[in-house]
């Protein structure tokens, strides 16, 4: 206690000495304490610390200790307090303990925040439980279901058309019968326009899709607003505004489909002028504005179709994509295959600008080279005619090439030329809309005798000539071969303002040297993708050849493995920017595998890579090393959509609205149920009727009335009274007896507000559309048939016949209810029924024609 009290006033050695003196007493427990004190005293002996670095550091930092150090410590506590309040006590403790470098604390925090955010997002979205196999199985189910739905449309849409047609195609009466008779006439029948005027609505219901030019539409179809639900203009860049207006006026809505970068309409057909005949002169035929241009200038709402999967080689569309479509087309890279792409063949030919008419404005050598190539390709394909087309710059070269082909005497060539889908030879103005696997392009022009290439290329020179070039160079699915008698650099584009000529030179340079000469599109900027580069680097470490970001458009293959063996797609920003599941996960694979023939397409999903990159690398390496699959015939781009599917076996449903049959009084059927009369049976004696209105008699009569209404309703009151009286043994009913019987109709029976007709409680007179045909031998006079029922029969008859005249309708309606001749009595009843039908909307009248309405 004494030593403890005096300790604070002593230095270290003095205090230890005092402790030792105190502990020198005789109490035995002091032994261990004395030893500790001796050891402590040694700590204060400088001789014992000789050269120890701790002592040296202690001495060196003596000046920094004290109040200043405490201030620094308090500052550190204050600066790290936000970590504690944010719950990051571990990070704060690491900073205070010095285990975390203060200079890297911010970066460490951001890295930790990023890692925590990734974990939270993975968990919140379920990606931490991502199963690649299950996910790809879901994609496969989606693709299969989409294909099945599209295939189903091939049968369901025609079925719906038949069901909505409404009329009976076998009807012999009405307007259907009249149309059938007109179509069956050998001579003296109506002209097409007369048929469309008289029977246009019937024809368009039978054939709801009409394929017609705007001129023919105006010529053959009546000028009726809303005649068509929708009018679609295809190749609208070639439809003149004047021709389009008439078609648009006949439509409720219009869709204009076209490419403003392709051929506009011209007046060539009207003037009979050959635009190439005077190339270089001032009498060229000007282009006209199209309905597509009008819509663009009017800022009509538009939607751009950006997927392009016709070309088997991106080079086929790369030129047009770069120069005309701002790089907006998404094209698909194809594996390197011989016989695809764009190539240039130099010919030592001469363009005849003067001379005999047979060769005037032609290049015979170039034409012969083209024909020789066609003959070679036909010889190499003996089993089927190759898909070929020839495009020339002028009419004379086109005619010369075709003449050489016919002069070969090869029947296969001649047959191919005659086939609408076979070999074609066309000039720039006429090739729009045609496609072939291979297109041979003949420029025809050549340097003159001085070795100078005249800058006179016919339609390419004038304004809009570049659109003709765009059409010409995009006709091929697999390959374009350009035959030219001049080098690209001989086109002195600096001497002309023609956009068409400048683009022609660029195209020829691309054909000669490849697509690398094209300008890089803004949509094709190479983007840094660390995930992609990491996967590629890891694969290269395994010895797998890898190319990254392969493609010429906004759609690119992230990785290509081996010798174009495997295309690898990642789920990066480009993938996520596609708006539909089909665009993200279905269409690319379908095109790459089914159309372009990639041996394998693999997907790398980021969650799968983060969890187990080794397994992903194993899978990709195995795919790259796998033997190639057996070669299969390539499909056409049209095969992306499901193949035509034959309708399922079974009966074809007839048109609704005329063939349906109501099942009975309680059914809401539209037509044709057979009337079944209530079977009269003995219900009692006449004395029961005589006893009315006594309670028991009234109860028996009410039950009989309800039974007949349930069986025959809707039933006319006269017939109802007569049937009930017959059940009680009375064969004839007079007025007073009728009233006495009908006075006891059950409360639940409905009464018609237009005539004395009784209805079952479950039937609404205003909503019922059925009728019952009266079979032969059944006593049911027309005056006992409700007017609503007769009107419903008239509606069904006019539906089946697509409209009928009044007298024809009366005869047909009377026949439905067992009548034969329209005498005065039935005529009055039919007239009343027609008037009621017109009043309720069940029927409508147009001129002398009666049509079904909407009740």
Mean pLDDT per 10-residue interval, the chain, length 855 residues: 46 55 58 61 57 61 67 83 86 83 84 89 87 94 94 93 85 90 88 88 88 90 89 93 93 94 67 43 57 92 89 92 91 90 95 91 96 96 95 94 95 95 93 93 94 90 88 94 96 92 95 86 66 96 95 93 94 91 93 93 94 95 86 47 36 35 36 86 92 92 95 94 94 90 93 93 92 93 95 93 93 94 94 95 92 80
Q: Distance from CA of residue 396 to its chain's centroid?
A: 43
Clarify whether residues 72 and 202 are in a common domain.
no
Enumerate the H helices of 86-131 as residue ranges. Answer: 89-97, 105-125
Clarify whether residues 291 and 381 are in a common domain.
no
Clarify whether residues 384 and 292 are in a common domain.
no
Provide CB contacts within 8 A for 157, sequence distance 6+: none
Contact 442, 391 (CB under 8 A): yes
pTM for the model stands at 0.68
Clarify whether residues 243 and 381 are in a common domain.
no
What's the domain count of the chain? 5
C-alpha distances in Å from residue 401, one per residue of 209, 393, 427, 459, 486: 39, 12, 11, 19, 19
Q: Is residue 505 part of a domain?
A: no
Query: Which range of residues forms the domain containing residue 740?
Result: 673-852
Q: Is residue 561 part of a domain?
A: no
Q: Is residue 328 part of a domain?
A: no
How much is the pLDDT for 632? Answer: 54
Clarify whether residues 472 and 413 are in a common domain.
yes
How much is the pLDDT for 27? Answer: 55
Phi-psi category of 216—alpha, beta or left, where left has phi over 0 and alpha has psi -120 to 50?
Answer: alpha
Distance, in Å, from the CA atom of 46 to the CA atom of 11, rounded to the nearest integer, reads: 14
Q: Is residue 110 part of a domain?
A: no
Contact 456, 374 (CB under 8 A): no
Distance, in Å, from the CA atom of 721 to the CA atom of 409, rounded to the nearest integer, reads: 92
Contact 224, 428 (CB under 8 A): no
Enumerate the H helices of 666-734 as residue ranges. Answer: 686-690, 695-712, 717-727
Clarify whether residues 846 and 825 are in a common domain.
yes
Q: Is residue 807 part of a domain?
A: yes
Clarify whether residues 40 and 166 are in a common domain.
no
Q: Is residue 810 part of a domain?
A: yes
Write down the residue that tokens 């449309």 correspond to.
153
First-to-last alpha carbon distance for the chain, in angstroms, is: 116
C-alpha neighbours within 13 Å on the C-beta side of residue 564: 12
Clarify whether residues 74 and 32 are in a common domain.
no
How much is the pLDDT for 528? Answer: 81
Helix axes 499-513, 315-323, angle to 10 degrees: 150
Clarify whether residues 356 and 424 are in a common domain.
yes
Q: Is residue 114 part of a domain?
A: no
Clarify whether residues 78 and 203 are in a common domain.
no
Q: Is residue 347 part of a domain?
A: yes
Mark which of 78, 100, 122 sits at the end of a domain.
Answer: 100
Clarify whether residues 87 and 191 are in a common domain.
no
Clarify whether residues 367 and 289 are in a common domain.
no
């Amino acid at each position: 206690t004494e030593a403890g009290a005096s300790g604070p006033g002593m230095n270290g050695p003095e205090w230890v000495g005092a402790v030792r003196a105190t502990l020198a007493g005789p109490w035995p427990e002091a032994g261990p304490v004395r030893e500790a004190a001796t050891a402590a005293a040694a700590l204060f002996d400088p001789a014992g610390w000789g050269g120890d670095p701790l002592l040296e550091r202690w001495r060196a930092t003596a000046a920094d200790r004290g109040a200043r150090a405490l201030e620094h410590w308090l500052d550190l506590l204050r600066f790290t307090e936000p970590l504690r309040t944010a719950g990051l006590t571990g990070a704060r403790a690491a900073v205070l303990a010095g285990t975390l470098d203060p200079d890297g604390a911010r970066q460490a925090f951001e890295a930790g925040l990023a890692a925590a955010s990734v974990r939270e997002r993975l968990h919140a979205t379920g990606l931490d439980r991502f199963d690649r196999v299950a996910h790809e199985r879901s994609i496969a189910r989606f693709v299969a279901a989409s294909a099945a739905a599209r295939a189903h449309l091939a049968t369901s849409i025609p079925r719906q058309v038949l069901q909505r047609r409404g009329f009976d195609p076998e009807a012999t009466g009405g307007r259907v019968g009249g149309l059938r008779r007109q179509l069956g006439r050998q001579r003296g029948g109506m002209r097409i326009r007369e048929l469309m005027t008289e029977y246009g609505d019937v024809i368009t219901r039978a054939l709801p899709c009409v394929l017609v030019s705007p001129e023919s539409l105006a010529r053959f179809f009546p000028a009726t607003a809303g005649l068509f639900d929708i009018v679609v203009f295809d190749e609208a860049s070639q439809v003149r505004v004047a021709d389009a207006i008439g078609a648009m006026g006949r439509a409720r809505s219009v869709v204009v489909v076209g490419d403003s970068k392709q051929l506009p309409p011209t007046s060539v057909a009207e003037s009979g002028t050959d635009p190439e005949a005077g190339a270089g002169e001032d009498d060229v035929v000007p282009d006209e504005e199209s309905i597509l241009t009008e819509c663009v200038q009017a800022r009509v709402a538009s939607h751009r179709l950006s997927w392009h999967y016709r070309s088997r080689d991106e080079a086929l569309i790369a030129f047009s994509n770069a120069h005309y479509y701002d790089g907006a087309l998404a094209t698909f890279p194809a594996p390197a295959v011989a016989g695809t792409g764009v190539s240039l063949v130099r010919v030592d030919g001469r363009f005849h600008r003067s001379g005999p008419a047979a060769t005037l404005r032609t290049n015979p050598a170039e034409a012969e080279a083209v024909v020789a190539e066609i003959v070679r390709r036909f010889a190499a394909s003996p089993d089927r005619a190759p898909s070929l087309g020839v495009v020339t710059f002028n009419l004379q070269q086109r005619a010369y090439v075709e003449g050489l082909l016919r002069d070969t005497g090869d029947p296969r060539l001649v047959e191919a030329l005659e086939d609408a889908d076979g070999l074609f030879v066309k000039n720039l103005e006429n090739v729009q809309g045609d496609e072939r696997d291979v297109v041979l392009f003949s420029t025809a022009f050549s340097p003159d005798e001085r070795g100078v290439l005249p800058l006179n290329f016919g339609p390419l020179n004038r304004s809009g000539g570049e659109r003709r070039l765009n059409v010409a160079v995009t006709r091929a699915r697999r390959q374009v071969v350009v035959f030219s008698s001049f080098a690209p650099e001989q086109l002195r584009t600096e001497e002309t303002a023609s956009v068409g000529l400048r683009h022609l030179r660029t195209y020829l340079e691309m054909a000669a040297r490849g697509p690398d000469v094209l300008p890089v599109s803004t949509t094709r900027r190479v983007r840094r993708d660390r995930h992609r580069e990491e996967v590629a680097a890891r694969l290269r470490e395994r010895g797998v050849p890898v190319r990254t970001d392969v493609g010429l458009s906004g759609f690119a293959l992230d990785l290509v493995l081996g010798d174009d063996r495997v295309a690898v797609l990642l789920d990066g920003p480009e993938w996520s920017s596609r708006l539909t599941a089909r665009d993200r996960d279905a269409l690319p694979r379908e095109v790459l595998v089914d159309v372009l023939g990639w041996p394998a397409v693999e997907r790398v999903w980021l969650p799968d890579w983060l969890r187990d990159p080794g397994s992903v690398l194993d899978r990709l390496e195995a795919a790259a090393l796998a033997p190639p699959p057996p070669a299969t015939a390539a499909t056409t781009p049209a095969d992306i959509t499901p193949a035509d599917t034959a309708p399922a076996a079974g009966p074809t449903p007839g048109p609704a609205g005329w063939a349906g049959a109501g099942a009975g009084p309680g059914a809401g059927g539209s037509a044709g149920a057979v009337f079944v009369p209530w079977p009269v049976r003995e219900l009692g004696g006449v004395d029961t009727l005589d006893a009315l209105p006594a309670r028991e008699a009234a109860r028996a009569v009410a039950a009989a009335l309800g039974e007949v209404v349930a069986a025959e309703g809707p039933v006319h009151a006269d017939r109802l009274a007569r049937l009930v009286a017959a059940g009680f043994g009375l064969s004839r009913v007079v007025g007073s007896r009728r009233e006495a019987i009908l006075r006891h109709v059950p409360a639940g029976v409905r009464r018609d507000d237009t005539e004395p007709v009784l209805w079952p409680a479950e039937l609404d007179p205003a909503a019922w559309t059925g009728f019952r045909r009266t079979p032969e031998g059944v006593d049911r006079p027309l005056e006992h048939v409700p007017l609503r029922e007769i009107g419903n029969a008239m509606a069904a008859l006019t539906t089946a016949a697509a409209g009928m005249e009044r007298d024809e309708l009366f005869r047909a309606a009377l026949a439905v209810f067992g009548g034969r001749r329209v005498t005065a009595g039935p005529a009055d009843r039919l007239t009343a029924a027609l008037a009621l039908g017109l009043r309720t909307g069940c029927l409508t009248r147009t001129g002398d024609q009666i049509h079904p309405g909407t009740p």
